[in-house]
């Protein structure tokens, strides 16, 4: 009788998990065969993270690096779901994108330092003090904590009255971002432009020097607060344009389905705009692909279609 009850409980759990994952696939616009990747790659990672949270006995901060369109937002959301549903750990997925400076702040920075800083994305266009204080509150405060949110369609931060609210403390806090963990470059490497954008619009290296300085002076300390690093490694930067275009098309579909966001459709980028847009990220993306694979704790290698083809653990997790 006890065995029968136990087997029935396991069956219920599997059914509930299947329904939860099917809902996740639908919300993320993912194909059904993605379930195989979840079983092979993501569930084992979630199990390890849960064990490490238990070992640490305190909240864990997990950083995820991946080039634009690599699937890092999906990975962060999926890990949050698995840690919450399977291991009953209070978890949240954040994006460094949600900590962008407001549009007005970036325009002021563009006027004061360099026009390219009006474009969101590169280090120097985020509110790092806000990010650090938010992570600290989520990990150690008692009670409600507000989470900033950024509206990419309108290219501005949502008003604070529209921010999300969660109850702290949490067990696991995941932060994903294309530049997460990327170190500063040696100054001499900044002298040589790597694309048309740098050649034509940053001939005096003011913009890329400012970005590099921001990494060294602000971002590095924020990255050092992470307990565990995960990387989705693209084959090369050449994939990023196609992946980023698909990402914009997904956003367009989502906005089209929500009639209240329909006016924002006009603010989405065209293929030509995306081609120029990603040049802002080329230097640091290529630097990340060169520097990070050997230094992260969990590395997932991707093929041209963003499928995981290999996984490794270059560096052991060290929890104090």
Output the domain CATH number for residue 208. Answer: 3.40.50.300
Condensed to tens digits (0 to 9), the pLDDT of residues 199-212 reads: 999 999 999 999 99
Assess whether pLDDT exceeds 50 at residue 146.
yes
Is residue 7 included in any domain, yes or no?
Answer: no
For residue 20, is it within any domain? no
Q: Encode pLDDT of 60-101 as tens digits.
A: 999 999 998 899 999 999 999 999 999 999 999 999 999 999
Q: Which residues have C-beta within 8 Å of that of residue 239, sequence separation ≥ 6?
A: 67, 69, 304, 306
pTM exceeds 0.85 for this model: yes
Is residue 318, in this structure, part of any structural domain at all? no
Say if residue 270 is exposed, middle or buried (CB neighbours under 10 Å; 0-12, 13-18, 19+): exposed
Domain extent, residue 196, equals: 31-312
**Is residue 225 situated within a structural domain?**
yes
| 189 in a structural domain | yes
Residue 5 lies in a domain: no
Rounded to the nearest 5 degrees, what angle is found at the Cα of 292, between the Cα atoms of 307 and 234?
A: 25
Domain count, the chain: 1
Q: pLDDT, tens digit, for every residue of 176-188?
A: 999 999 999 999 9
% of the chain surpassing 70 pLDDT? 91
Q: Which residues have CB under 8 Å from 248's CB, separation 6+?
A: 268, 269, 274
Residue 87 lies in a domain: yes
- pLDDT value at 166 more than 90: yes
Which residues contact residue 193 at a Cβ distance below 8 angstroms, ignoring those fewer than 6 apart?
199, 202, 203
Whether residue 278 is predicted with pLDDT greater than 80 in this model: the reply is yes
Q: Is 101 left (phi over 0), alpha (psi -120 to 50) or beta?
A: beta
| Tens of pLDDT, residues 26-48 | 898 899 889 999 999 999 999 99
With pLDDT > 90 as the criterion, what percentage of the chain qualifies?
Answer: 75
Cβ contacts of 157 within 8 Å, gap of 6 or more: 100, 101, 102, 103, 148, 149, 150, 151
Q: How many CB atoms lie within 10 A of CB 116?
A: 21
């Amino acid at each position: 009788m006890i065995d029968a009850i136990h087997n029935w409980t396991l069956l219920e759990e599997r059914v509930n998990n299947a329904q939860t994952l099917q809902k996740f696939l639908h919300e993320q616009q993912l194909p059904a065969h993605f379930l195989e990747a979840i079983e092979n790659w993501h569930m084992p990672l979630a199990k390890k993270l849960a064990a490490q949270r238990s070992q640490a006995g305190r909240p864990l901060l997990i950083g995820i690096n991946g080039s634009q369109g690599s699937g890092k937002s999906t990975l962060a959301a999926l890990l949050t779901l698995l840690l919450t549903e399977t291991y009953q750990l209070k978890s949240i997925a954040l994006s460094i994108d949600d900590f962008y400076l407001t549009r007005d702040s970036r325009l002021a920075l563009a006027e004061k330092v360099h026009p390219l800083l009006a474009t969101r994305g590169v280090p120097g266009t985020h509110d790092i003090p806000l990010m650090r204080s938010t992570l600290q509150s989520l990990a150690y405060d008692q009670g409600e904590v507000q989470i900033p949110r950024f509206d990419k369609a309108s290219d501005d931060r949502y008003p604070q009255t529209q921010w999300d609210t969660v109850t702290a403390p949490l067990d696991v806090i995941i932060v994903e971002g294309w530049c997460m963990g990327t170190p500063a470059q040696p100054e001499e490497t900044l002298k040589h432009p790597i694309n048309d954008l740098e050649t034509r619009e940053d001939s005096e290296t003011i913009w890329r020097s400012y970005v590099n300085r921001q990494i060294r002076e602000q971002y590095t300390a924020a990255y050092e607060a992470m307990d565990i690093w995960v990387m989705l490694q693209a084959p090369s930067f050449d994939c990023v344009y196609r992946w980023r275009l698909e990402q914009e098309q997904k956003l367009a579909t989502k906005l089209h389905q929500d009639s209240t966001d329909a006016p924002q459709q006009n603010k989405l980028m065209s293929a030509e705009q995306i081609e120029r847009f990603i040049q802002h990220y080329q230097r640091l993306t290529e630097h990340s692909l060169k520097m990070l694979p050997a230094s992260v704790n969990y590395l997932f290698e991707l093929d041209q279609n963003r499928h995981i083809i290999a996984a490794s653990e270059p560096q052991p997790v060290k929890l104090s």
